[in-house]
């Protein structure tokens, strides 16, 4: 049976409430981590990442709303639909980081160091692939719809936003608390 690698970082604490019932909570006892950049920079980056996640969902849904020939092609629709998974995982991670207070837990540190770049890269790959395939279909395909241009532009903007966040990831680096 697999064991969660973060279980040793927590301790169960039992206490009694006013009615005499036992309440169990957990307390973090692992190594504390903190952001390596100044607090103002980290606060700004958290806001940028959260607004980028919200804008990403808006662009993702805006590409789906109008009729487009691109979404009728499976070889274009699959990469675009697959980009929703890393976008969801990125949004979840950004919300967890946005709500986290210093000192950070090892779980948050590991997610920022290992999962954040991988999720950004996969989101960039899927949305960029959908934008490129749609642009090729738009250039050589016989039929065009008004939604195709919106689809290409939204997919390209999603890819560009992921690239910008990927290049800014150094501002959310974490290190051990000393």
Look up residue 57 and give its two tokens.
Answer: 């969902």
Distance (Å) of CA 129 to CA 10, 133, 152: 42, 6, 11
pLDDT in tens, 141-155: 888 888 899 999 999
Rounded to whole angstroms, the maximal C-alpha distance in the chain is 75
pLDDT at 40: 93
Determine if the peptide bond prior to 103 is cis (ω within 30°).
yes
Answer for the pair 46, 138: CB distance below 8 angstroms, yes or no: no
Model confidence pTM above 0.75 = yes
N-terminal to C-terminal alpha carbon distance within the chain: 35
pLDDT at 72: 87
Answer for the pair 76, 70: CB distance below 8 angstroms, yes or no: yes
pLDDT in tens, 98-126: 888 888 888 899 999 999 999 999 999 99
Look up residue 96 and give its two tokens.
Answer: 């967890």
Domain extents in the chain: 33-176
Among the four given CATH numbers 2.160.20, 2.40.300, 2.40.128, 1.20.120, the one describing domain 33-176: 1.20.120
Answer for the pair 133, 98: CB distance below 8 angstroms, yes or no: no
Q: What is the pLDDT along the chain (178 residues), one digit of tens a residue?
A: 346 888 888 898 998 888 888 899 888 888 899 999 899 999 999 999 999 999 999 999 999 999 888 888 899 999 999 999 999 999 999 999 888 888 888 889 999 999 999 999 999 999 999 999 999 999 988 888 888 999 999 999 999 999 999 999 888 888 887 6
pLDDT at 178: 64
């Amino acid at each position: 049976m697999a064991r969660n690698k973060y279980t040793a970082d927590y301790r169960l604490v039992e206490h009694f409430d006013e009615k005499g019932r036992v309440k169990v909570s957990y307390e973090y006892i692992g190594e504390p981590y903190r952001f390596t950049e100044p607090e103002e920079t980290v606060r700004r980056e958290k806001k940028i990442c959260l607004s980028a996640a919200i804008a990403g969902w808006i662009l993702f849904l805006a590409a789906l709303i109008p009729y487009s020939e691109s979404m009728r092609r499976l070889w274009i629709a699959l990469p675009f639909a697959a980009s929703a998974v890393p976008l969801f995982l990125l949004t979840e991670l950004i919300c967890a980081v946005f709500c986290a207070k210093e000192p950070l837990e090892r779980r948050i540190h590991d997610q920022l160091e290992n999962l954040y770049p991988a999720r950004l890269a996969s989101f960039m790959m899927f949305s960029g692939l959908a934008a490129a395939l749609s642009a090729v279909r738009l250039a050589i395909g016989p039929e065009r719809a008004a939604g195709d241009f919106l689809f290409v532009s939204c997919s390209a903007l999603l890819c560009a936003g992921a690239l910008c966040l990927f290049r800014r990831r150094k501002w959310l680096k974490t290190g051990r608390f000393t």
